[in-house]
Chains A and B, each alone.
Chain A
Amino acid sequence: MLDEEIYRKLFVEESRENHETIVNSLLALEHGEDAAAIDEIFRSAHTLKGMSASMGFDDMERLCHSMEDVFQLVRNGQRTVTPALTDLLLRCTDVIEVMLDEIEGGGDPSSETAEILIKSLKAFSDKGTDEAAFDALPDGGGADAEPAMIPVAMEDPDADASPVYTLRITLDPACGMKDVRALVILQNLEELGSIRATTPSRDLIEDGMFGESFSLRIASDAGEEALKTVASGADVTAVEVSLYEQEAAAADADPRPDLEFEDIQAPQKPGKSEKAREIKNIRVDIHRLDQMMNLVEDLVINRGRLEQIARKHGIKEFDEALSMVGRSVSDLQNLMMGIRMIPLERIFNRLPRVVRDVANYDGKEVEFIVDGGDTELDRSMMDGLNDPLLHIIRNAVNHGIEPPDVREANGKPRKGLLKLVARRDKDNVIIEIEDDGSGIDPEKLRHSAVEKGLMTAEAARTAQKEELIGLLFQPGFSTAEKITDISGRGVGLDVVKRAIESLKGTIRVDSTLGKGTTFELVLPPTMAIVDVMMVHINDRRCAIPVSNVVEVATGRQDAIHHIGSTETILLRDSLLPMHRLEDMFGASSKGSDTLVVLQNDGKKCCIVVDSVEGQQEVVVKPLSRLVGSCRGISGVTIPGDGDVVPVLDVNTMV
C-alpha cells in the first residue's frame, strides 16, 4: 500500500506517544531533578524532530530542535530546570499538540507561535536566565493576556462594508446551561449580521467551555443598541458593545497565528480534547474484528436453527424470548457490519497521483474529479477493489483520453476530464469511472475480434455494439495500438472482470465513439450476509441470492422451445433461455414445471427447480482454497437446520 495518508497517520500516532512522554517527563521533572526523565525527554524530542523533518513539517522540526538544544544543556548540567523553564517547555508541547491535530486533520501546520517559542528557547539556552526566556515573548505570552480572536467564517472580512462591533457578553455564573444560552445568543445575533470571530472558538462556546464571559466580533448594520438588546436575555449579566476598527480586523484576517495563540494560552483545552479523543476511538486489530464477525455469523446461523426448533414446538414463551434474542442478534450484526465498513476514500485517495503520473508519462492533460469518497464498503472488499480500479483508471488515461492536440483538433477542451463517482444505490454501491476521451470504436473491436479468432467474420459483421464491447473482457483482447508499460499488456479487463466478479459485483461498459467511455461497477456493500431463496434442484438444495431472483413462475411444457441446443421458454412475451443445471446438480429424475427467473447484469434467464423452500438470511462462507473456484458456486452456507448448502453464483452459472 501507498501512501502519504497512512504515513501521516502513523506519524501522528507515534508523535502523540512521544509528545505524551515529554509532557509526563516534564511533570516528573517538576518534582525534582531526574536524570532518567531528562534522558527520556531528550530521546523523545529527538525522535519527534527526526520524524517531523522526514515528513517535511519544518516548523515542528525547528521547535523540537530548539527543545532538544535546551535539554542538551540541562542534561549536561549547564542549566537547571526552573518552574519558568518547565512552563515554557510545556507551552511548546501544547503547540506541538495543536500541530499534530492539524496534521491529523490533513493540514500542514505552520505557526508563528512556534517562532516565538523557538526564540524564547534560544534565548534561554544562550543566556541561561529565566527572564531572558520571557524577554522574547510578546505581551500575548503573558499569563493573563486576553485570548486573541478566532475568526469563524472563511469569508473575506472586507466582503461587506457593515461596521464591525466587538461584544463582550457575561453570563450569570449560576446559569445552568451556559452552552445553550450562548448558542441562542449567537444564533440571535447571526440574524442581525455575520459573526466574524469569537473568543474562545465557536465550538468551545457551543460546548460551554468558557468562563463567565465570551466575546465575539460581528459585522452588522443594526447598530449598537439593537445588538445589545438581542445579546442580553435571561442569565446575561452584562453586554459590552464597542466599535471594532477595520484595520485591526484586516490584520487579523489570517487565522493561523491567532489560532495557535489561543491554544497555547489555554492549556486546559488540549487536555480536554485529548481526553475526549481517547474515549472516542480505540484501535482494534483487524483480526480480532474478523473473529468477532465470525462469532456474529455463528450467532446468525444458530438463531436460524433455534427458529426452526421453535416452529416445531410452538411454545409461546419461547417464541417471545427468541424474538428478543433475534432482534439483538440483528442489531449486533448490523453494528458489526457498520464497524467493518470503511469509506472508499481509503483507496480513492491514491488515485489522483496515479492519474497524474500516467498523464505525465503520456503527455496528456487530465482533470481528475473524485466524488462520493465517503461511500462505505466492507473492509474485506477494499483490497479486492483496489487493483481493478487502478487498472480502469490507468486505462482511461492511457487509452481513453486523447493527447491535447488531438482533443483540440476534435473540438474538445485540451484537458481531458476523468470522473470517479461512487454512490449508494439501494443495496448496492455503484462506482462509475467516466472519461470524455475517444471512446471505444466498435469497428476496431470487430476487426480485432476476427483477427484474434474470437469471432467469425460473419458473426462479427452482425454483432451488436454491446456484444462487441463484451469482448473487451475476453482474455487476451486488447485494442491498444501501442503497448506501454502502464497498461495494455493484453491482460487487462478480463482480470478486472474476474476480480469484480469475485467480489460478487458486476462491471458494465458504455461507450460512445468520440464522446467517451463509462465503466460502471456495481458492488454489494458487504459480502458476508445475504438474503437467499432456498430451492431444490434435482433433489439437491441450493441457495440463490434474492437480489438475482426476479420471480418464480410456472412454465407450461408447450411453452418450451428448442432453439438450437438451448432450451428457451416463452414467459409473458419474453423469450428466456432455460437452464436445467444438470451438470451441477445431477440429472433430473422427474419433470418439474417450477421455474425461477434470474437476472444478472440486465440479462435474464431461468432455471428449473423442483420446489422453492422459502427465503432466508444466511451467512455465505467462501469456498476453501482447497476447492479452488467452482464456476457457478459463490460459496456455501449453513442454514438453520445445520445442513450445508451451496450458494448459486448467477454470474458464472452458465
Chain B
Amino acid sequence: MATTIDVVEFQLGKEHYALDIQLAREIVEMMPITPLPRAPAYIAGIINLRGEITNILNLNSLLGLHDGETAENQKIIVLVPEAAGGSNVGIIVDDVSSVRQVAEDEIDAMDDAASSAAYVKGIIKLGAEDEGDGRDTDRTDLIIWLDVQRLLQEQVATT
C-alpha cells in the first residue's frame, strides 16, 4: 500500500479543494467579520477568536476567482500560525466536507507552469471506495489539492 496523506476537503464555489491537514488548526462556524478599512482586497476582515485577533482571508480573491454567491454553510478554516509566517490566519470556505485519507496513487501530480501559478499541488481523483456514497463512478469528481502555504507566502507575506 502506498503512503497516504490526510487532507481537509472543502468547497469553494462549485469546486472541491483540499489542504494538508497539518496546516489546519481548527474549523469554526462563520461569525461576523469586522472589515478592515483600506486593507488589501484579499483581507476579508478580522475576527476575535478566543481573544486572539485572527485575520480572515478571502480565498477567492487570492486565487483570482470571482466571489460567488454566499453559501449557506460558510465556515472558517483557521490555519496554524506557521502556515502564514506566524500570523493568525483563517480562510473562508463555502463548506467543509470531510477529512480524507488519500493514497498517493490517487494524486495526479501537476508540475506544469499553469498549475504552479494556480498554487495546485496536485489533483486528487477519487478512487473506487467513493463509489458507495452516491458519487459518479466515472471519476468525474476531482479535488484540487492546494498548496496553501506557498499561496500565502507568495500572495500575502510579500508586502
Contact = CB atoms under 8 A, between A and B. Distances in A.
Interface size class of A (residues with CB under 8 A): 20 to 34
B55 A627 contact: yes
Interface string A47-85: 000000000000000000000000000000000000000
B65 interface: no
B155 to A, nearest CB: 10
Nearest to A638: B48
B84 to A, nearest CB: 6
A627 B85 contact: no
Contacts of A452: none
Interface residues of B, number: 25
A250 interface: no
Contacts of B39: 627-628, 630, 633
B74 interface: no
A644 interface: yes
Given A642-B48, A644-B46, A630 B38 contact: yes
A643 interface: yes
Interface in A597-654: 621, 623-628, 630-633, 636, 638, 642-646
Interface stretch (B15-23, B29-37, B109-117, B125-133): B29-37
A252 B34 CA distance: 75
A633 B38 contact: yes
Contact of B43 (A540, A581, A626): A626
B36 A627 contact: yes
A632 B84 CA distance: 24
A630 B34 CA distance: 14
A624 B88 contact: yes
Contacts of A36: none
B87 interface: yes
B82 to A, nearest CB: 14
Interface in A302-327: 302
Residue picked from A625, A626, A627, A631, most chain B C-beta under 10 Å: A626
B38 A628 contact: no
B37 A646 contact: yes
A584 B57 CA distance: 18
Given A626-B89, A626-B156, A636-B46, A631 B38 contact: yes
A298 interface: yes
Nearest to B38: A630
Contacts of A621: 53
Interface string A558-593: 000000000000000000000001011100000000
B159 interface: yes
A40 to B, nearest CB: 43
B36 A630 contact: yes
Interface of A: 298, 301-302, 540-541, 581, 583-585, 621, 623-628, 630-633, 636, 638, 642-646
Closest 9 CB pairs of A and B: A584-B37, A628-B159, A624-B87, A644-B34, A630-B38, A644-B48, A626-B87, A644-B46, A624-B55
Given A585-B37, A621-B53, A643-B34, 6 more contacts: A540-B34, A584-B37, A624-B53, A627-B43, A630-B37, A636-B53
13 contacts: A540-B35, A541-B34, A581-B37, A583-B38, A626-B84, A626-B152, A632-B37, A633-B37, A636-B36, A643-B34, A643-B48, A644-B46, A646-B37
Interface of B: 34-40, 43, 45-48, 51, 53, 55, 57, 84-85, 87-89, 152, 156-157, 159
